[in-house]
């Protein structure tokens, strides 16, 4: 089942956030601060312009977070930006990840967004294949540098 997260889910989402952080490579630039991460998750639960979705089977197995905002090139066009889309490794390869992505898209459309931007880490991630299969096209590649 895919549903909107509640404040009761933040502990489990924080645990999944740690695993996502460990996979992401962000550790080369920063450390994960549990208080900051929990506050971010809570803001997504509470925000009219944000969303935190979870996949639940026998407990939470995945999550996705996104923000909706006026596009920076045209304020008349709303866009959504994925912050994270993650499924536990043992639950990957089935339909949970794609269903979570579809739920994220449905949320964005329901908010009036005309586009959604997804990212994937690391490069050559299987997520790229999923994106292309469901109609996404590559737009930009992000680079990060520690200052």
pLDDT at residue number 146:
63
CATH code matching the domain that covers 2-133, chosen among 3.40.630.30, 3.40.50.460, 3.30.428.10, 1.10.10.10: 3.40.630.30
Between the CA of residue 65 and those of 50, 76, 146, what are the distances in Å? 7, 23, 24
pLDDT at 125: 78
What DSSP line would sit under 43-95, residue for residue?
A: HHHH-TTEEEEEEEESEEEEEEEEEEEEETTEEEEEEEEEEEEEE-GGGTTSS
User: Which residues have a Cβ under 8 Å from the Cβ of 88 and sit 6 or more positions away?
Assistant: 16, 19, 61, 62
Question: pLDDT at position 145, please?
Answer: 66
What pLDDT is recorded for position 122?
Answer: 66
Q: What pLDDT tens digit does each residue of the chain (147 aa) get?
A: 999 999 999 999 999 999 999 988 888 899 999 999 999 999 999 999 999 999 999 899 999 999 999 999 999 999 999 999 999 999 998 899 999 999 999 999 999 999 999 988 766 778 888 888 888 888 877 777 667
Cα angle: 12, vertex 18, 19; to 5 degrees: 95
């Amino acid at each position: 089942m895919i549903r909107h997260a509640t404040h009761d889910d933040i502990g489990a989402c924080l645990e999944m956030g740690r695993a996502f952080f460990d996979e992401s490579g962000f550790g080369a630039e920063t450390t994960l601060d549990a208080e900051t991460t929990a506050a971010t998750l809570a803001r997504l639960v509470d925000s009219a312009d944000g969303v935190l979705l979870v996949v639940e089977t026998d407990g939470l197995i995945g999550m996705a977070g996104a923000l909706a905002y006026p596009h920076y090139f045209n304020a008349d066009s709303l866009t959504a930006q994925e912050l994270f889309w993650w499924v536990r490794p043992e639950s990957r390869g089935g339909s949970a990840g794609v269903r979570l992505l579809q739920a994220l898209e449905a949320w964005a459309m329901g908010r009036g967004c005309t586009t959604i931007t997804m990212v994937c880490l690391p490069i050559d991630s299987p997520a790229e294949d999923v994106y292309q299969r469901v109609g996404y096209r590559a737009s930009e590649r992000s680079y990060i540098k520690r200052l």
